[in-house]
Copies of this chain bind each other. A is one copy, B any other.
């Protein structure tokens, strides 16, 4: 139970922290130029930290940022996001505290939007505001669909689903340790191993050291849907 919270968060990241949450276009950013404060961060420095009052949101221009949470002295990465992603906005609009820390993976350039400045400005640009709204609601919808899709499914199905998705995103050869998969799914390494073996036995994937290659996406989809077991 000790790390359960973080595992769940990691799992959530696959739904919530997805890089396809890109509400703002470059044109939008230009519109907001007078309230955008360009910042840059060296590798390892923070944009914000977990628990701080969320007074600003950030739009990443270049580089990558890790979102993570601390637990018992160790960090657990929740998501890694790149250019175009908006981070911290949910906490900011909610007037709460950041739910995770954001740290630069490499040299990062970003725009910082201060809450007190951004909101009045947004009020002047309804189209922009509307786009953000639509994007947020779509995110909410995706989340619902995704959770309905995955929740209470067997780990085997979850692994299959994860592999299909990752393969679609970055090609059939995945550099993923089984422990990493387990963390993403919020399950245990052993169970993932069991699932991986099953998938290998049915010829859907090949496995190696820190590597999984998808051979038969069709079959994986069937498993992910729960039709095979």
Query: Which residues does chain B contribute within 8 Å of A96, judged by CB atoms?
Result: 141
- Residue A27, interface by CB 8 Å: no
Q: Which of A1-59 contact B (CB under 8 A)?
A: 1, 4-5, 7-9, 11-12, 16
- From A139, which residue of chain B is reached at the shortest CB distance? B140
With A9-B148, A94-B138, A137-B93 in contact, do A1 and B226 touch (Cβ < 8 Å)?
A: yes
Check A152 against B93 for contact (C-beta < 8 Å): no
- Rounded to whole Å, the gap between the CB of A71 and the closest CB of chain B is 13
Q: Which residues of B contact A89 (CB under 8 A)?
A: 137
CA distance in complex: A126, B118 (Å): 13
Q: Is B9 a contact partner of A140 (Cβ separation < 8 A)? A: no
Judge whether A124 is part of the interface by a CB distance below 8 angstroms.
Answer: yes
How far does the alpha carbon of A143 sit from the alpha carbon of B137 in the complex, in Å?
Answer: 12
Q: Which residues of B contact A137 (CB under 8 A)?
A: 89-90, 93-94, 136
Q: Which residues of B contact A140 (CB under 8 A)?
A: 16, 90, 136, 139-140, 143
1/0 contact string of A116-141 vs chain B (CB within 8 Å): 00010011111101101110111111
**Which residues on B sit within 8 Å (CB–CB) of A84?**
none
Give the residue name and chain of the B residue nearest to A147 (CB): B12
Greatest chain B CB density within 10 A among A8, A96, A125, A144 is at A144
| Contact present for B141 and A8 (CB under 8 Å) | no
Which of B5, B12, B123 is within 8 Å of A130, CB to CB? B123
Residue pair B147, A8 in contact (C-beta under 8 Å): yes
B126-A8 in contact (CB<8A): no
> Chain B nearest CB: distance from A217 CB in Å?
23
Confirm or deny: A162 has a beta carbon within 8 angstroms of a beta carbon on chain B.
no
Q: List 13 A-B contacts (CB under 8 A).
A: A8-B148, A16-B144, A90-B144, A93-B133, A94-B137, A99-B141, A99-B144, A126-B126, A129-B129, A129-B130, A133-B136, A147-B147, A152-B186
